[in-house]
Amino acid sequence: MKKSALDPAREMTRRIVSDTGKVYVIIGAGLAGFSAARVLRLEGFEGRVMLFGQETDAPYERPPLSKDRLRGELSEERVFLELPNYYKDHAIELQLGERVARIDPSLRVLEMAGGSKVSYDKLLMATGAGLRDIDVPGHDLDGILYLRTLRDCERLRGLLQQHPHVLIVGTGFIGCEVAASARQIGCKVTLAGPELPLAHVLGRGLSEIYASYHRGKGVILKTGVTSTAFIGAGHVERAVFSDGSTVDCDLVVVGIGVDPNTELVAEHVKIENGIMTDEFCRTNVEGIFAAGDVANSWHPRLGISARLEHFDNAQRQGETAAKTMIGKLEAFDTIPFFYSDQYEFRLIYRGMALSSDSVVIRGMPETGSFSAFYLADRKILAVCSVNRYAESVAAARLLHHEIAPAKLIDESVDIGRLFDT
């Protein structure tokens, strides 16, 4: 099994952690929760650290579930964030398969689904987000699946090996990545949704480029529609769409978005598209913090509150939350970053383009190698690079600077030195 990519360069020395009487509880054993627990120990916290997860699997990476793990190119053990003995060695009390039923912030007590109670001094909500169900006639037929957990991935992987005709409902990241993986495995794939692939993030121009990539790989793309019903005798056989058309299929994978899991604290803390926090991951309730997909946090660099559903955000925000919990205030103010692998196209996106007025392209999308710069009054808000990792890294320095579009387009100019005076 690999060592975690999250380990610092230096080796951590094992130590017996003394119990000072303080109990820090983390609800949610995903990346944000794991990162927080890890940093609490790295920063020298010597109280109890309790990490609760509803799943029975130890913390793992989610990105591979729609990509290399789904295709069987990555072993299951390499998905996990740490070696099995890590939690014992660092006195992190990993409570798997445990569901917290209720929280009482006034008493600082958790009530578990089984009836037991846990007292805490500080609480981190890292509960992530839950999948949206597709509530249409026939939604409960066999063969209609969702992909969120490692167990979901293992089940879907086995089915894809049978080379069914797969209908993917949803053209976001999960839908597009599953579509690409299914095609690489050899399945017939239909990708359907109201928008072109990744349009909600990349915008019209780049979504058309990604539509061409999927069509070029043999995906049947059906956009401008929603699914209105599924038909079959016990098992799904056909999907019906809002334009009256139908598609025959053996398997359906639904990826129509997620909603933040705020239920446990909804009556206690401020909720607005997630748990509202400041840049230090603090909620409006003393002793309660939030990080990861569930947190709608203030970003000083962007000047807005935003809820980001990305690997980098979960890792770094979990680290910020842990430091805040021990009184080490370091504002979470990193540049938003995410990536997506589809076929041979590695997409890396840095920044956030909420109000761009133009997009300029450097390179040739038809060759599968380019960078797109999102501008507002010549100021770069974001850069999306495909198969240009070094250029993406260099372009990160340009964010929030004013650059002449002609210089961005000119590939003879060193991208790392493009600063207008």
Judged against a pLDDT cut of 60, whether residue 126 lies above it is answered with yes
Quick: pLDDT tens for 66-91. Answer: 999 999 999 999 999 999 899 999 99
Q: Report pTM.
A: 0.92
Which ranges constitute the DSSP H helices of 31-110? Answer: 31-42, 86-89
Buried b (16+ CB within 10 A) or exposed e, 341-372: bbbebbbbbbbbbeebeebbbbbebeebebbb
- For the segment 253-275, the average pLDDT, to the nearest whole number, is 97
Given 3.40.50.300, 3.90.660.10, 3.50.50.60, 3.40.718.10, which CATH number is that of 133-254? 3.50.50.60
Question: In a 3-state reduction of DSSP, which class is residue 49?
Answer: strand
Q: Write the burial class of residue 139 (CB in 10 Å: 0-12 exposed, 13-18 middle, 19+ buried).
A: middle
- For the segment 306-329, the average pLDDT, to the nearest whole number, is 96
Quick: pLDDT tens for 175-198. Answer: 999 999 999 999 999 999 999 999
CB 253 within 8 A of CB 167: yes
pLDDT of residue 12: 33
Quick: pLDDT tens for 377-419. Answer: 889 999 999 999 999 999 999 999 999 999 999 999 888 877 6
Judged against a pLDDT cut of 90, whether residue 220 lies above it is answered with yes
CB 229 within 8 A of CB 239: yes
pLDDT of residue 302: 87
Closest CA to 179 of 319, 341, 411: 341
pLDDT of residue 355: 82
| Residue 4 pLDDT class (50, 70, 90 cuts) | very low
- For the segment 186-212, the average pLDDT, to the nearest whole number, is 97
Judged against a pLDDT cut of 90, whether residue 32 lies above it is answered with yes
Which ranges constitute the DSSP H helices of 217-301? Answer: none
Beta strand spans in 82-196 (E)? 92-96, 100-104, 109-112, 117-119, 122-125, 129-131, 144-146, 165-169, 188-193
Per cent of the chain over pLDDT 70 is 95
* Length of the chain measured in residues: 421
Report d(CA 359, CA 356) in Å as an integer. Answer: 8
Given 3.40.50.460, 1.10.533.10, 3.40.1180.10, 3.50.50.60, which CATH number is that of 23-130+258-325? 3.50.50.60
Quick: pLDDT tens for 85-109. Answer: 999 999 999 999 999 999 999 999 9
Q: Which residues pair with 314 in a beta bridge?
A: none
Question: In a 3-state reduction of DSSP, which class is residue 180?
Answer: helix
Q: Which residue has the higher pLDDT, 31 or 17?
A: 31
Report d(CA 134, CA 104) in Å as an integer. Answer: 33
Quick: pLDDT tens for 341-382. Answer: 999 999 999 999 978 899 999 999 999 999 999 999 889 999
pLDDT of residue 417: 79
Q: What fold, for 344-417?
A: Enolase-like; domain 1 (3.30.390)
Judged against a pLDDT cut of 60, whether residue 151 lies above it is answered with yes
Average pLDDT, the chain: 93
Report d(CA 165, CA 145) in Å as an integer. Answer: 14
pLDDT of residue 419: 62
pLDDT of residue 3: 38
pLDDT of residue 8: 36
Question: Looking at the chain, which residues constitute the CATH 3.30.390.30 domain(s)?
Answer: 344-417
Question: In a 3-state reduction of DSSP, which class is residue 307?
Answer: coil
Report d(CA 123, CA 282) in Å as an integer. Answer: 10
Question: Looking at the chain, which residues constitute the CATH 3.50.50.60 domain(s)?
Answer: 23-130+258-325, 133-254
Report d(CA 257, CA 130) in Å as an integer. Answer: 9
